[in-house]
C-alpha cells in the first residue's frame, strides 16, 4: 500500500486537468498550479482541492510533484527558476515530469534534483486527452527503480500501463519511438486514403473493408471518418507533434541515423502549419497531400510567369515560361545524381537562353540524342535537351531564381531504368 498522501500537480492543460482530478479522486491531497490562474480555481472548485499562486507554493510539503506542461522552457520555468518547485521541495521527495521533452532536459533536471537529494523520473505519456480523461494512459518512465516503485501505484489513478524503460532519459526516448511510429502510420494512411479518393473510392467504405485485416491501426479506426469529413479541430495538435518529432530527429542525428520517413512527415506538417493548421489533429496531415494534388492539377492550366535561372557563376543565364507552382522530377541516374539535377521540363518555345552561349560546352553520351550543356567556367549543367523529350528543354530547378516560384513539388524518377520509364515523362515538353 502506498504511503503517499500529499502531491502537487503543475500544469492543467487538456491532459493535466483530468490527471490531477484522478489523483484527487483516488484519495490524495492535491494542490495544483496553472499559469492561467482561473483554470486552477475551476479545478479546485470541481474536485474540492487546493490551488496555489506559484509552483513553489504548490509543492510545499508534497511527497511527489507532477509536471505536465508544454515544452522544455515551460518545464524549466516551473522547476529551476526562482518560484519553481525545486525551491521548496525537500530531500527524499520525488519529481515526476509527464511533459514530452528533450532527452537533454530530462538529464538536466535529474542533475538538479540529485544535488538536492530529490528523486526524478521522466515519465511522458501516450493516450491523448481521451486517455487522460478516462484514466487509461500509457506511461513510459526513466529513472531509478526505487523511485519508479514509489510512483507506479500513485499514477495507477490515471494510467492503465506504466513501464520503467531504464535510466533517466529513457522514458523520453521511448516516447520518441512512439511518435515516430505514429508519424509513419499517419504518413501511410494519408497517402492510402488520398489514393482511394482520387481513384473514386469512398474512404468510409474502404475503412470498413480493410480495418479488420493487417492494415488496421488505431489511427484508421479512430480517424478515418473525420479525415473523410475533413474535420481536425480536436485531438493531438500538429504543433505538438512537430515538437516531438524535432526531439526524435535531434537524437537520431546524435546517433548518426537518417530517418527519411519521419523527416518527410515533419516537412508535410511544417507546410500544414504554414497554411494555418498548427492546432489541427495530427490526422490533418492528409490535407498537405490533398493540397499538393489540387495545386499540381491546377498548375496544368494556370497562367505562366517568366522564371529566370542560370549557372552558379552567372556566365550562363536563361528564362523559362512556367506556372508559379512547379512540378519537377529528381532523377537517380548517374549523370543527374552527380549534378544534383532537378528536372523542370518545358517545350523548347518556352525556354530562352539570354546570356552565355559562348560559355557553353556541349556533351553527348550513348545515343547522342541527349544534349548536355555545361558552363565552361563553373562546370554547372543548368539545362539540357533530354532524350525522352527531344522537342523540349529540361532546366535544373535548383538553378532557378525562386522569387517567382510559389512552391516546387518534386517526384522521384527512376532514370536507372530509363528505357522502361522514360515514356512517363514524354508528354511534359508538348505544347498545350
Show which residues are catalytic. 175
- Strand-strand pairing, 64-67 and 94-97: parallel
Using CA atoms, how far apart are residues 310 and 319, in angstroms rounded to an integer?
8
Number of H helices, E strands in the chain: 15, 19
* Sign of the Cα pseudo-torsion (149, 151, 156, 159, in order): negative
Q: Tell which residue, 362, 371, 382, 373, has the closest CA to residue 312.
A: 382
H-state helical runs in 306-412: 334-339
Q: For the chain, give percent helix, strand, coil, nearest 5.
A: 45, 20, 30
CA atoms within 13 A on the CB side of 67: 31
CA atoms within 13 A on the CB side of 382: 30
The grid cell for 409 is: 513539388
**How many other CB atoms are there within 10 angstroms of residue 278's CB atom?**
17
Using CA atoms, how far apart are residues 337 and 316, in angstroms rounded to an integer?
21
Instruction: Give the phi and the psi of residue 266 in degrees, each rounded to 5.
Output: -60, -40
Instruction: Give the phi and the psi of residue 91 in degrees, each rounded to 5.
Output: -55, 140
Distances, alpha carbon 378 to alpha carbons 310, 372, 404, in Å: 11, 15, 24
Nearest 5°: CA angle at 14, between 12 and 18?
70
Amino acid at each position: 500500500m502506498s504511503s503517499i498522501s500529499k502531491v502537487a500537480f503543475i500544469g492543467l492543460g487538456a491532459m493535466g486537468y483530468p490527471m490531477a482530478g484522478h489523483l484527487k479522486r483516488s484519495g490524495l491531497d492535491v494542490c495544483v498550479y496553472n499559469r492561467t490562474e482561473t483554470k486552477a480555481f475551476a479545478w479546485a472548485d470541481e474536485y474540492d482541492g487546493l490551488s496555489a499562486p506559484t509552483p513553489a507554493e504548490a509543492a510545499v510539503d508534497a511527497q511527489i510533484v507532477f509536471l505536465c506542461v508544454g515544452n522544455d522552457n515551460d518545464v524549466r520555468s516551473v522547476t529551476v527558476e526562482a518560484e519553481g518547485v525545486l525551491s521548496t521541495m525537500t530531500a527524499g521527495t520525488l519529481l515526476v515530469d509527464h511533459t514530452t521533452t528533450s532527452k537533454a532536459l530530462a538529464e538536466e533536471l535529474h542533475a538538479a534534483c540529485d544535488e538536492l537529494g530529490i528523486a526524478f523520473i521522466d515519465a511522458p505519456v501516450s493516450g491523448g486527452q481521451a486517455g487522460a480523461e478516462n484514466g487509461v494512459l500509457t506511461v513510459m518512465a526513466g529513472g531509478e527503480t526505487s523511485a519508479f516503485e514509489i510512483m507506479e501505484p500513485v499514477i495507477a489513478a490515471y494510467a492503465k500501463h506504466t513501464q520503467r524503460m531504464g535510466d533517466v532519459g529513457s522514458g523520453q526516448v521511448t516516447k520518441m519511438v512512439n511518435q515516430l511510429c505514429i508519424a509513419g502510420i499517419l504518413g501511410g494512411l494519408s497517402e492510402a486514403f488520398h489514393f482511394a479518393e482520387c481513384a473514386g473510392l469512398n474512404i468510409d467504405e474502404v475503412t470498413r473493408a480493410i480495418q479488420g485485416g493487417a492494415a488496421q491501426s488505431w489511427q484508421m479506426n479512430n480517424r478515418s471518418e473525420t479525415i473523410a469529413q475533413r474535420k481536425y479541430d480536436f485531438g493531438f495538435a500538429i504543433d505538438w507533434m512537430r515538437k516531438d518529432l524535432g526531439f526524435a530527429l535531434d537524437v537520431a542525428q546524435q546517433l548518426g541515423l537518417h530517418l527519411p520517413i519521419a523527416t518527410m512527415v515533419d516537412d508535410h506538417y511544417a507546410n500544414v502549419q504554414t497554411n494555418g493548421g498548427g492546432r489541427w489533429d495530427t490526422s490533418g496531415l492528409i490535407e498537405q497531400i490533398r493540397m499538393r494534388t489540387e495545386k499540381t492539377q491546377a498548375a496544368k492550366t494556370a497562367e505562366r510567369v517568366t522564371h529566370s535561372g542560370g549557372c552558379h557563376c552567372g556566365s550562363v543565364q536563361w528564362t523559362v515560361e512556367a506556372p508559379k507552382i512547379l512540378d519537377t522530377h529528381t532523377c537517380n541516374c548517374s549523370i543527374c545524381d552527380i549534378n544534383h539535377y532537378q528536372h523542370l521540363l518545358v517545350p523548347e518555345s518556352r525556354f530562352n537562353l539570354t546570356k552565355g552561349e559562348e560559355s557553353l560546352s556541349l556533351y553527348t553520351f550513348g545515343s547522342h540524342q541527349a544534349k548536355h550543356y555545361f558552363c565552361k567556367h563553373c562546370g554547372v549543367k543548368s539545362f539540357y535537351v533530354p532524350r525522352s523529350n527531344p522537342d523540349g528543354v529540361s532546366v535544373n530547378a535548383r538553378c532557378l531564381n525562386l522569387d517567382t516560384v510559389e512552391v516546387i513539388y518534386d517526384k522521384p524518377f527512376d532514370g536507372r531504368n530509363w528505357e522502361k520509364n522514360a515514356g512517363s515523362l514524354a508528354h511534359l515538353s508538348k505544347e498545350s
